[in-house]
Structure 1
Amino acid sequence: MPSFNTALTRALGIKVPVVQGGMQWVGYAEMASAVSNAGGLGILTGLTQPTPDDLRKEIRRCKSMTSKPFGVNLTLLPSINPPDYGAYAQAIIDEGIRIVETAGYSPGEVIKKFKSVGCIVLHKCTTIKHAKSAVKLGVDFLSIDGFECAGHVGETDITNFILLSRARQDLKVPFIASGGFADGQGLAAALALGAEGINMGTRFMCTVEAPIHNNIKQAIVDAQETDTALVLRRWQNTSRLFKNKVTNDALKIERESTTGKFEEVQPFVSGQRGRQVFLNGDKDHGVWTAGQVIGLIHDIPTCEDLVRRIEHEAVDVMRRNASLIVEDSPSSKL
């Protein structure tokens, strides 16, 4: 089997250019280590841990489960009581992690802190404008998130086919493609559009090792690409979530509220209720993120089987596409 040789695989020391994105309440050691052991890059989700010390413990636990490279995600989001991002960043650094995925608002200070100790930083962006700002901060890779993605999709509604081509045209820093990827055909397409690899979240949720209830994995398998909803657009904080009873209730308030106060919808979009979904297996208990890629997911493989399948599919597609090019014969030029 031939090996991939992209800027991403070379920089991170991984075999297959597939990154498991940071996912709240999913990015535990079980998930990250399984992806890394399969040849991709596993990612722990920093803020899934309640304190920086808990994150230290989770990093050590992940190290006991894999000898391969893995990273940590740190997402900075507006909050009434924001976590101590600096302390989380320091915990990541102190534990010897040198691959970090960042996302969110005003990441400058955190990125500076990581770069000062030689970390490789992958920063997630939903627009080229934000990507260019991140380049100025010194990030090593950009994760370009199309409108198809789960979670925070931005407010510009630009799908990956356009966004990745714009990234290829304008960005001077290597990038990976995020949103809408589940198979080797997608990886081959991303590479053709100029990306150095792909980032997958929802697809990795639907694996044997994903630390969520099997009912939720089966809900993803049973879903169609139309089974997501965009919530919180009224407050310029649009998130793509799995379409269920709670998202429908939240959208009704969003459409019909005469005050426009976020407090009216807040109980419906509680992150704690979403966490319980992954524990109790009731897909309608709360809101939870899922991308349109759910329409492409039809099984629950191990991470090893999934990454290997993606690797083989991508190689097969790229070889087939190369075979479509033929040299002109001398007679055809007459």
Structure 2
Amino acid sequence: MRTRFTELFGVEHPIAQGGMQWVGRAPLVAAVANAGALGFITALTQPTPEDLRAEIRRCRELTDKPFGVNLTILPAITPPPYAEYRQVIIDEGVPFVETAGSNPVEHLEHFHSAGIKVIHKCTSVRHGLKAQKLGVDALSIDGFECAGHPGEDDVPGLILLPAAADALDIPFIASGGFGDGRGLAAALALGADGINMGTRFMATVESGIHQNVKDRLVEAGERDTQLIFRQLRNTARVADNAVSREVVAKLDAGATFEDIKDLVAGKRGVLVYETGDLDHGIWSAGMVQALIHDIPTCEELITRIVREAEEIITGRLAGLVGAPAAV
């Protein structure tokens, strides 16, 4: 399957494993790369820039295929040393970067000067057009179904993707709600050049999170997520659990961020992945969990998705187009 995405990033399959906080680590990324797709180490999962350097080198010990690093740029009272993380990415010769969150303009010149291609994640067409104007090489367009931050427009992929295809000139991949071959075939039909999956890759053998979390993703349905921070206009889709329900209830009752900051602290969320206590903190999950029914290896998952998509495109869909029935 060849698309503008596979040609630009030099991968076999039009599938990406996006950066996921606490999840995008070397074993998962290498497994994705070895299966012919594009994986991203999550920079800020690593406590320091030097830890990121070590993780990049660990990934290179596990694969000789190309992979990238995700650098999510978010406002913070004490922001991470983004310039230092960026320099490690450049020094280590990483060929691709996925940026997300805030405007990536501060980093683009540095990455492009080093020959690094940048794919930027957006949740709206207007933001995609702005990123395209800034000079990013490709885009990941996130629909309302996605885990993490879906933006504030609430536009689902069925509308967002063809709207993006009509407006954009550069390659883009579809994100939010993708987990099988039907999704890949649909994304290509809607004008995307591939798909970006997060939640689906969490439920794989090589994902380093606790088995309880993987099992919950298999059990959960499309209604088992919560949208938190809506009142703060910083909406995030997370797994439905005791903590996320408490956060929603408190914000509905007029609480401020200060009132709930301890509930949503990242140090609590990471312990969910490490200990398997599903109610210990906030953790991300997309609506696509309704389509997750097993925990395969990355190679099994990617091979299956591509095979299913090809069968849909060349089989079922092609079979619908034929000579008219005789009268």
Query: Normalising TM by the smaller chain, what interval?
Result: over 0.9
2:262 is aligned with 1:264: no
Q: Report deviation, 1:261.
A: 2.4
Q: State the distance in 2 between where 1:199 and 1:30 align.
A: 18
Partner secondary structure for residue 144 of structure 1: strand
Match of 2:232 in 1: 235
Q: TM-score, normalised by structure 1?
A: 0.96
Deviates more, 1:315-324 or 1:57-66: 315-324
Q: Report deviation, 1:106.
A: 2.4
2:136 is aligned with 1:144: no
Match of 1:279 in 2: 274
Match of 2:291 in 1: 296
Deviates more, 1:8-17 or 1:215-224: 8-17
Q: Report deviation, 1:328.
A: 5.5
Match of 2:53 in 1: 56
Q: State the distance in 1 between where 2:95 and 2:11 align.
A: 14
Partner secondary structure for residue 229 of structure 1: strand
What amino acid maps onto 2:318 in structure 1?
A: A
Query: 1:168-218 deviations in whole A, cap 9, x for unaligned?
Result: 111111110000000011001000011110000000000000000001000
Within 5 Å, give how 1:203-222 maps onto structure 2: 203-222=200-219
Q: 1:40 is matched with which residue: 19, 37, 40? A: 37
Q: State the distance in 2 between where 1:191 and 1:254 align.
A: 39
Identity %: 55
Q: State the distance in 2 between where 1:235 and 1:110 align.
A: 27
Q: 1:195 is matched with which residue: 192, 208, 219? A: 192
Q: Which runs of 5+ in 1 are unaligned?
A: none
Q: State the distance in 1 between where 2:260 and 2:163 align.
A: 35
Deviates more, 1:116-125 or 1:194-203: 116-125
Query: 1:232-258 deviations in whole A, cap 9, x for unaligned?
Result: 11111100000000001111110112x
Within 5 Å, give how 1:14-25 maps onto structure 2: 14-25=11-22
Partner secondary structure for residue 261 of structure 2: helix
Q: 1:308 is matched with which residue: 303, 306, 309? A: 303
Q: Report deviation, 1:327.
A: 4.0
Query: 1:263-305 deviations in whole A, cap 9, x for unaligned?
Result: 0011111111000000000111100000000100010001010
2:26 is aligned with 1:26: no
Query: 1:67-125 deviations in whole A, cap 9, x for unaligned?
Result: 01101000001111101111111100110001110011121111222112221111000
Runs of 4+ in 1 over 4 A off after TM superposition: none
Q: TM-score, normalised by structure 2?
A: 0.98
Match of 1:155 in 2: 152
Q: How many residues align?
A: 326
8 Å Cα contact 1:112-1:137 kept in structure 2: no
